[in-house]
Amino acid sequence: MRNPIGYLTTHVLDTSLGVPAEGLQIDLYFYEGETRKHIRSMKTNSDGRTDGPILPCEDFKIGVYELVFQAADYLKHTAPAQETPFFLADIPIRFGMNDPDTHYHVPLLLSPFGYSTYRGS
């Protein structure tokens, strides 16, 4: 059996400031049935990306994953005038990956009061 070449990346842009979201923690989970297993945690760099794939090809497997973006911790530094608790705290995005040879990219567009995501390229 050959090794998969698929992998997962993400990119976070702060749409309220018009800049990449630097220093935002992201947690990756894998679902085995209803059980959620933590895979890794990473922070975004000055470009709003992680320094490497959040799920590299050597760890790739078909299944259901979840990225949890720690928005409140990031917003404490970028929107300090906002009252707490913040409207957005953790932003979970659950998605499936079914092709072991595909690059999956899940970007997040973030502001203090909303977010959007899509399957990127």
Residues in the chain: 121
Please report, in tens digits, the pLDDT of each residue of the chain (121 residues total): 567 799 999 999 999 999 999 999 999 999 999 999 999 999 999 999 999 999 999 999 999 999 999 999 999 988 777 788 889 999 999 999 999 999 999 999 999 999 999 999 8
pTM for this prediction: 0.93
Domain limits, the chain: 7-110
Where b means 16+ CB within 10 Å and e means fewer, 57-88 reads eeebeeeebbbbbbbbebbeebbeeeeeebeb
Does domain 7-110 sit in CATH 2.60.40.180?
yes
